[in-house]
Amino acid sequence: MSLMQFSGLLVVWLLSTLFIATLTWFEFRRVRFNFNVFFSLLFLLTFFFGFPLTSILVFRFDVAVAPPEILLQALLSAACFYAVYYVTYKTRLRKRVEGKPRRPLFTINRVEAHLTWVILMAIALVSVGVFFMHNGFLLFRLQSY
């Protein structure tokens, strides 16, 4: 990857990150913390945190990575997906009815709630245990990038 290609990718990465971070910040200031803020932070971490690490691999350690065209497509598709997500999250198809109170969608008591999280925790621990039994810990066992 040349320095000019990296500069173009950096501009796209900065604009995309700034776009998502700005929308997330406005949402956070409006309602503090909700699903949209949580999803946006996870989305940034998942799809945009890897670019600085990739550039460190390329320029510091001379590791061959995907071509810049593929990296550009990945950045643009992630930014476009977030834009589509944000528009669909903010669009209300039906008018809100303010008059009558809605009944709760789920009613669950304390015992059922504790039983649910214990069962889910057991499933997660069994899944992780089976994975480690099959594959080991996988720390520093990577053969290629």
Q: Tell me the per-residue pLDDT of 23-42, one tens digit each, with 9 for 90 and over.
A: 999 999 999 899 999 999 99
Sorted by where each begins, the domain ranges of the chain are 1-93, 105-139
| pLDDT value for 125 | 97
Q: Could you say which residues of the chain have pLDDT below 50?
A: none
Separation in Å, CA 51 to CA 25, 28, 127, 133:
21, 25, 30, 32
For the chain, give the DSSP string: --HHHHHHHHHHHHHHHHHHHHHHHHHHHHHSS-HHHHHHHHHHHHHHSHHHHHHHHHHHH----S-HHHHHHHHHHHHHHHHHHHHHHH--SSPPP-SSPPPPS----HHHHHHHHHHHHHHHHHHHHHHHHHH---TT-----
pLDDT digits (tens, 9 = 90+) for 48-60: 999 999 999 999 9
